[in-house]
């Protein structure tokens, strides 16, 4: 007996600007917008960035300054 495995169709993952914009947070500690790259190794700050409706989250840089561990 052989089981028939349904073939899953893979949807194409699209990386557009809107998606990247969602990852941008706003740091209330240094008053800047920021985001990490996909490897979460580097952090980018955006000085002149609209903070409207951005998620409030202290950036890694400020966490490090405060001595908190960044996982």
Residues that bind Zn ion (CB under 5 A): 27, 29-30, 59, 62
> Which CB, 30 or 36, lies closer to Zn ion?
30
Considering the complex, what minimum distance in angstroms separates the CB of residue 54 from Zn ion?
13
Q: How far is the C-alpha of 32 from the C-alpha of 49, rounded, in Å?
A: 8
Minimum CB distance to Zn ion, residue 65 (Å): 8
Instruction: Select 30 or 49, whichever has its Cβ closest to Zn ion.
Output: 30
CA distances from 13 to 16, 24, 26, 39 (A): 10, 19, 26, 17
């Amino acid at each position: 007996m052989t089981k028939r495995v349904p073939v899953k169709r893979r949807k194409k993952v699209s990386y557009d600007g809107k998606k990247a914009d969602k990852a941008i947070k706003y740091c209330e500690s240094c008053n800047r917008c920021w985001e990490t790259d996909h490897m979460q190794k580097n952090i980018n700050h955006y000085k002149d960035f609209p903070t409207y409706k951005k998620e409030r989250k202290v950036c890694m840089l400020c966490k490090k300054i405060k001595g908190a561990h960044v996982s």
